[in-house]
Amino acid sequence: MKTSPTNVSKLFMFLLLSSVTMHSSDIDTPSSLQTLSIDGSFSFHNISHAAKDFGNRYQFLPSAILQPNSVSDIAKTIRHVFELGPYSNLTIAARGRGHSLQGQAQALEGIIIQMESFRGQETRVHNGEIPYVEASGGALWINILNESLKHGLAPKSWTDYLHLTIGGTLSNAGVSGQAFRHGPQISNVYQLEVVTGKGEVVNCSKTENADLFFGVLGGLGQFGIITKAKIALEPAPKMVKWIRVLYSDITTFTEDQEMMISAENTFDYIEGFVIINRTGILNNWRSSFNPQDPVQASQFKSDGRILFCLEMTKNFNSDESELADQEINALLSRLRFIPSTLFKSKVSYVEFLDRVHISEMQLRSKGLWEVPHPWLNLLIPRSKIQDFAKEVFGKILTDSSTGPILMYPVHKSKWDNRTSVVLPDEEVFYLVGLLTSAPSSSGHDNLDRALKQNQRILDFCKKARIGMKQYLAHYNTQEEWKHHFGARWEEFQQRKQAYDPLAILAPGQRIFQKTGFSL
């Protein structure tokens, strides 16, 4: 029987596509990574820890973990996956301390780069006219602090928790009570070394490869992995006077907060908390502080009211204690808190900055650290904070929550609008953080309850047109991400195409999907 040219053509195409299919299958196997000549090592077994994070809700098992010893290791690995082309399903996620909330630093059947293993850059402090510290993207902020303090210096802006990597917080923003003055951590960076989604090692700053520099800052890991950073420093104090006061009226509370963050002479750190029907937590934090008037303080009762705590610090050195007290008293005289709730403490600068780690150790000892953390972090425009508070604190969160509720204002002008972070459209906006823990308890699903509360809050914000933006955002569809970025989406998408065109990096953010080649 004769074979027609048409049949020959079909047979040829079948064999061609079959070979492509086999190639696609072969290149996704971890064995391809073993051909790479690297200084570090790959692990293919006992890697389940990389499928967990602080949120403790999502588990995506990778195929391999890279423990890099050099920038070259990271670049070679990414370049290898990039050169496999769109036929490969491999993706890559950089993981620091695994403190993401919803699988953002995970990569299903992909490669996890364990950044804390990265020793490519020794931490070096440059104590010149413009001091800075140069460190690996996998270095922890607590170690940066300790090294900088040897030179009498410290970074300007912090997160509340210091046991996180530089690359991790700079990929988001890095916010704490110093942000009203210095901006977030991403506003205090001089230079970065970045490995792009093509495996290219690029140095960037505000003047060199600026598009990548600003894109990576707050870029959620989408355009490159931060392997080195130069962070701004300032003279470090030795001690901190730590103050907490309470308000029962939210309008007075927010007005005083906004006055303090806008004053020329003010505190060095300003944060606020919402206490919902929680006498327990009230007594807990009071126990480590000294009341200004012990008799009045002992008579104060919360009576189940919603209370608002203003937390502030004043930095000082050992010979400046009296002067610091005078400045504090002058500032406090301008505030309208409940007089009997003035509590003070004096601690070292390191002890204050590392305060959350102490709580972590206590929770770990009780088995309450590695539980689900369905956190919700929102940026609320100043003009809507009263509407938000009335609905959320008055109607949705009506009983005791299981975690702190942060609420404090910052200035938008302290954030560089060239970075990838998207913010509300007002000069002053509030960070509201519902830092819920959800330990399992018999007969009651704390996690399900917390998630439903979060959704009710998000639904209210949408219906009431609050104009909020999520911080540490999590969305499941690209349409939701488009809405999140708004007018910035096109720029964000263009940067992705320029620096990670195959969508290899940070798949756990669920912004771009590596689609591959469909046959």
- Point out the residues that are catalytic: 99, 160, 271
Which residues does 29 contact at the CB level (< 8 Å), separation at least 6? Answer: none
Distance between first and last Cα of the chain: 31
User: Distance between CA 247 and CA 224 in Å, rounded?
Assistant: 44
User: Distance between CA 438 and CA 449 in Å, rounded?
Assistant: 9
- Tokens 């609050």 map to which residue? 466
What is the secondary structure of 312-348 as a DSSP string? EEEEE-GGGHHHHHHHHHHHHTT----GGG-EEEEEE
The sheet with strand 376-381 has its strands ordered as: 290-291, 343-348, 239-247, 306-316, 269-276, 405-411, 428-434, 376-381, 469-471
Look at the chain and count its residues: 519
DSSP lists the bridge partners of residue 242 as: 313, 345
Tokens of 502: 């195959």
User: Which residue from 215, 227, 124 is spatially nearest to 167, judged by alpha carbons?
Assistant: 227
Residue 47: phi and psi, rounded to 5, are -115, 15
Tokens of 259: 């006055």
Q: Which amino acid is at 384?
A: K
Which residues does 28 contact at the CB level (< 8 Å), separation at least 6? Answer: 63, 88, 89, 90, 109
Residue 382: phi and psi, rounded to 5, are -55, -40
Q: How many CB atoms lie within 10 A of CB 275?
A: 22
User: Distance between CA 220 and CA 123 in Å, rounded?
Assistant: 24
